[in-house]
Structures are given as structure tokens and as C-alpha cells.
Amino acid sequence: MQAKIKKVELRNLEIEDYKQLKKSMIESYPEMADSYWGSEDIERLLSIFPEGQLVILVDGKVVGSALSLIVDEKLVEKRHNYQQISGDYKFSTHNPNAEILYGIDVFIHPNYRGLRLGRRLYDARKELCEQLNLKAIVFAGRIPSYREHAKKMSPKTYIEKVRTKELYDPVLSFQLSNDFHVLRVIKNYLEGDEESKEFAVLLEWNNIYYDDSPKLINLKKNIIRLGLIQWQMRPLNNVEALFEQAEFFIDAVSGYGSDFALFPELFIAPLMADYNHLSEAEAIRELARHSDPIRKRFQEFAISYNINIITGSMPYLEGGNLYNVGFLCKRDGTSEMYTKIHITPNEVIHWGMKGGSNFKTFDTDCGKIGILICYDVEFPELPRLLADEGMDILFVPFLTDTQNGYTRVKHCSQARAIENECYVAIAGCVGNLPKVNNMDIQYAQSSVFTPSDFAFPSNGIKAEATPNTEMTLIVDVDLNLLKELHEHGSVKTLKDRRKDLYELKKLNS
């Protein structure tokens, strides 16, 4: 993991990127150092198919790229090598009216491998394939570890052993894990590829949304997948044990393609057991020392697992005051802090916590979201102000010890979904912490609530976890349904407000 990564960006390649692109390409292919694309080649690619050329930047530096053409299916079906499929390296095979997105290059700088950046490039290619209504993605992948086994087995046997995980190939294993399947082996594909003995594996990914009849495709993502983590409170030896458990769940929900992972309020409380000899107020201030390291590690997880993470909440010291805060760690590597506005009597009495003074919506790659911590959702003014800013999804990390407390959070969250015509996702902690003062019992049932109209579940509940059981909840929400509701719903609670009689506004912004 690179130290102090501030931002990861995936975008289309620009000619101004060429110097960095060339440098990263050379360092990515040390065995073929003279085989990089020239600036005139990149200019030609950008002139014929700019949307098909992608780059990954880390802190403004080009560290990876994926280059593509659109070619005829018949050309792919023929026996071909790299020179032929690329039109003698001049890209004359590109046909914008053809059916196949053909990958002619993909690489990640060796210093930035292990962050799943290559997966992002492949996912972006899949999205492009769907958006352009192309039939499939095809490319010929190298098998660089084959050289070590060439004397003992044929390429066919080697590929089968990689497929069954008896052998590992740094390129082919990755491609197979990204839902590509083998079409055939190609001999003499790339001249000079000694590691692969000039063999390549023709791989394909099929676009299940492909339609023979051309039609316009909505390019904006509207189906958002939420991953809610119902966290079991358990003794933890140290912060690394917390990271290990958190990464397990992040890996799980990202493996299902979730766009967000939501953790509960104060889920890091087990770490307070080391300070049980102190007063409750002193113990939670010791716990606050972990907040910045946790934020930094969760930023790394957001990059590695390509998911936006809402870190629940944790104590945070600032200017001598103790706050209850959390962090939105975006998959581009950036993060933003949110603060609990309304502090419960228990938090004041036992911990001396103070409420924050700023709240807002957050712009993400999946639309505008709001985040309110537990008690805050019981005050309808806050979600209404966020709805006025365009919020589509409200996330509520919570912590309740009894079913009474949970009932308040649940029913208030349901009300917020109805009155603000948005989705509300809540996630809480379960289990017991007998060795942590003031945190001994928990009750939760994580859920996703919807508005109440014909396009949504009749009870306004999209999905619910099993009460008081550690688990994840994976839920898809459709933002298009909210747009329809705003304009054509049975009732329109946002539009029908009598602003001639009353209004709600922030006193400071």
C-alpha cells in the first residue's frame, strides 16, 4: 500500500498524459522496455475512439491504463496475432459500428499493484461495453508464468491448472477472477513475449444486456447497491484485530458489488476494554486516540475494495471537546467528516460529549447522500434540510441498548423516508460487552426503508436483517423510482409543502 495516498481518479486518457503514461508503461513491462506506444499512436487512438482509452491516476500521477478498439466479431473469430488485430499497430481495424470491444493493452505500475486498481479498469471497460451496447469484451491475455512450466506441460494444460487454482499466473488468474472465460489459445500472438513463450489466451466477457436492436442507454448509474454491516460487539485484543474484522466485512459486501458499506455507531467500543480501570469519561477519551488511524486505514480499504465506506462513528477530540463523529471514505481516496448534532443525555452524563454544529449532504459517485448519527434521525428538521439539498439516500449508523431505543430509531427512520421521499439505511451493533463500562448490551435490526407508494414495498421496508445477529444486508435501491415519485407520486410531500405559510432553513451554513 502506497503511503499517504490522497486521491485516486479513473478517467479518459488525454494526450497531455502521454509522458507519464510512457514512463508507467516502461516500468510495467521491464521485459519489453522498447515496446511502448509512441505519442503518435496515442494521438491516433484518441482521435478514433477517445471514450475507449482509460487511465488511473493516484495523486495526479498516471499509474495504469486500459486501451481498447471496437472490432468486427468475424475478425475476432479468425486466428490472429497482436499485429493483425491492431491493424499493423495503426488501429485500422477499429470500426465504431462493430460489436466487440477489444482490449489492446492494460497495465498497472508495479508500485501500485495490490490496490485492485486493475479491477477498476476492467469494471470501467464492462460499463463502457454496456453503455455502447456492444456484444462482448475480448482480448488476448499473456501467461507470463508459463515459461516456468513450458517444458512440463502444454499451454492448454497450464491454463486448466490455473483455472482450477493448482497454479497461479499473475495475469490469467486475475482475468479469470474478473468473469472472463477462455475462448482458445493463440500461438505466436505477441512477438518478443518470452515469458509467455509467445502464447496468449483469448478471453471473453459477455454483455448480458446486449440488444441486437440499437437503443439509447442511460449512461448514469441508477441502481445503487448498499452493504449494511450488523456488527457483533466482541472482545478485541488491539486495533489490528478491529481492522481484520472490518476488512472481512468490507471484502464481503464489495464482493457483491456494493457501492456503499455502512458501519454502526461506536462499533469500535470493544477497544475501550483496555481502559476499564479509568472513569467512563477518561476511557472514551483514550479511545478517541484511535480515530485518526482508523480513518486512514478505512481510506485504504475504500481504495483497495473500490467501495464508499461510511465508518459509523467514533469519539473524536478537537480543541479539548469530545465529539461523536464518523468519516465518509470515498473510493477515490478522499474522505469527509460528519458529526452527531444531537447528543443523548447518556452521552452527556457519562462521557461529557458535545454536539457538532455542521451538517450537509455529500456528493458521491452514486448521487447525493446524507449521514446522520442515531439520535439525529429523531429530529425531522435535519433530514428535511438535507432533502432540500437533493439527498437521495440517508444513512443512519446507530447504537441502541434496548428494544425501546431501537424502536425510536426505526420508526423515525421510516417516517424520514416517507416524508422526504428518499431511501433510509440504518445499521447497528448487536451482542454484549460485559467488560466495557456503559457499553454492556446492544439491540439492533439493520434495515433499508423506502417511501410509501406503488413503486415501493407496501410496508415501506425494502429489507431487514435478522434482529440481534451478526450479518450483512445487501440491498439494491433504484434512484429512478425516486425521480418518478417526486413528479408522479400519489402524494408529493416535498412539492406540496405550504411555503406561503411556513419554511425551514439553516441558521448558519
- Residues 99, 195, 280, 340: which is the catalytic one? 340
Same domain, 272 and 410: yes
Does residue 212 fall inside a structural domain? no
> Over the stretch 432-454, which tens digit does the pLDDT of each residue have?
888 777 677 899 999 999 999 99
Q: What residues contact residue 37 under an 8 Å CB cut-off, 6+ apart?
A: 21, 22, 25, 67, 105
CA angle, 184 as apex, 179 and 187 as ends, to 5°? 130
Q: Are residues 174 and 283 in the same domain?
A: no
Residue 442 lies in a domain: yes
- 162 with 308, same domain: the answer is no
DSSP bridge pairs for 322: 317
Asked whether residue 370 is domain-assigned, the answer is: yes
C-beta separation of 261 from 249 below 8 A: yes
Q: What are phi and psi of 313, to 5 degrees?
A: -155, 165
- CATH code where residue 98 lies: 3.40.630.30
Query: Does 274 reside within a domain?
Result: yes
Q: pLDDT value at position 198? A: 87
Instruction: Report the CATH number that the domain containing residue 339 is assigned in CATH.
Output: 3.60.110.10
pLDDT value, residue 215: 47
Closest CA to 203 of 219, 221, 189, 218: 189
Which value, in Å, is the radius of gyration of the alpha carbons in the chain?
Answer: 26
Q: Is 166 a catalytic residue?
A: no
In a domain, residue 216? The reply is no
How high is the pLDDT of residue 441?
Answer: 86
Instruction: Please tell me which residue in 99, 265, 280, 347 is annotated as part of the active site.
Output: 265
Same domain, 453 and 315: yes
Contact 302, 327 (CB under 8 A): no
Q: Cα angle vertex 248, ends 310, 308, to 5°?
A: 25
Q: Are residues 145 and 289 in the same domain?
A: no
> Do 245 and 147 reside in the same domain of the chain?
no
Residue 169 lies inside a defined structural domain of this protein: yes
Cα dihedral sign, 1-108-252-125: positive
According to the model, what pLDDT value does residue 225 have? 97
Question: Is 340 labeled as catalytic in the residue annotation?
Answer: yes
Q: How many domains does the chain have?
A: 2
Single residue among 180, 206, 232 that ends a domain in this structure:
206
Q: CB neighbours of 255 closer than 8 A, spacing ≥ 6?
A: none
CA distance 105 to 89: 12
The predicted structure's pLDDT at residue 29: 81
Sequence-separated (6 or more) residues with CB below 8 Å from residue 507 = none
* 38-90 pLDDT tens trace: 999 999 999 999 999 999 999 999 999 999 999 999 999 989 999 999 999 99
Residues 292, 440 share a domain:
yes
The answer to whether residues 473 and 463 touch, using CB atoms and an 8 Å cutoff, is yes
Which portions of the chain are predicted below pLDDT 70? 1-3, 31-34, 213-220, 438, 509
CA gap 46, 11 in Å, rounded: 13
Q: Which residues pair with 337 in a beta bridge?
A: 327
User: Looking at the structure, do residues 201 and 241 belong to the same domain, yes or no?
Assistant: no
Cβ count near 480 (within 10 Å): 12
What number of CA atoms fall less than 13 Å from residue 297's CA on the CB side?
16
Q: Are residues 148 and 176 in the same domain?
A: yes
Residue type, 437: N
Q: Are residues 197 and 230 in the same domain?
A: no
**Grid coordinates of 181:** 472465460
Q: Decide if 382 contacts 376 (C-beta within 8 A).
A: yes
Domain that holds residue 18: 8-206
* Residue among 374, 412, 422, 429 flagged as catalytic: 374
Which H, E and C letters describe 429-489, residue by residue? EEEECCCCCCCCEECCCCEEECCCCCCCCCCCEEEECCCCCCEEEEEEEEHHHHHHHHHHC
The answer to whether residues 202 and 280 belong to one domain is no
Active site residue 265: yes
Last residue of a domain, one of 156, 171, 206: 206
**Exposed, middle or buried: residue 181 (CB in 10 Å: 0-12, 13-18, 19+)?**
exposed
- 122 and 253 share a domain? no
